Amino acid sequence: MNLALIIIIVVAIVLAIVGGLNTALNWLLWVALIVAVIALIAFLLRVVRGGSR
């Protein structure tokens, strides 16, 4: 996994924690979920492309 994906996952986790602790910042939870899904899709694409070679 490259450095960019690790950074995206860490940011998603931090945003999820902040969003869970403060209901006024509930939109951060949605941002974290969207970023996490994008990171997961990117990771899966890298695994599939690497495994098919």
Q: Per-residue pLDDT tens for 12-32?
A: 888 777 766 666 566 777 888
CA 38 to chain centre: 6
C-alpha–C-alpha distance, residues 45 and 40, integer Å: 9
The structure tokens listed for 42 are 């990117």
Q: What percent of the chain has pLDDT over 90?
A: 9
Buried b / exposed e over 1-32, threshold 16 CB at 10 Å, is eeeeeeebbeebeebbeebeeeeeeeebbebb
What is the rounded average pLDDT of the residues 24-52? 82
Q: Is 1 helix (H, G, I), strand (E, B) or coil?
A: coil
pLDDT of amino acid 51: 62
Instruction: Identify the pLDDT of residue 41.
Output: 92
Residues of the chain with pLDDT > 70, as a percent, come to 75
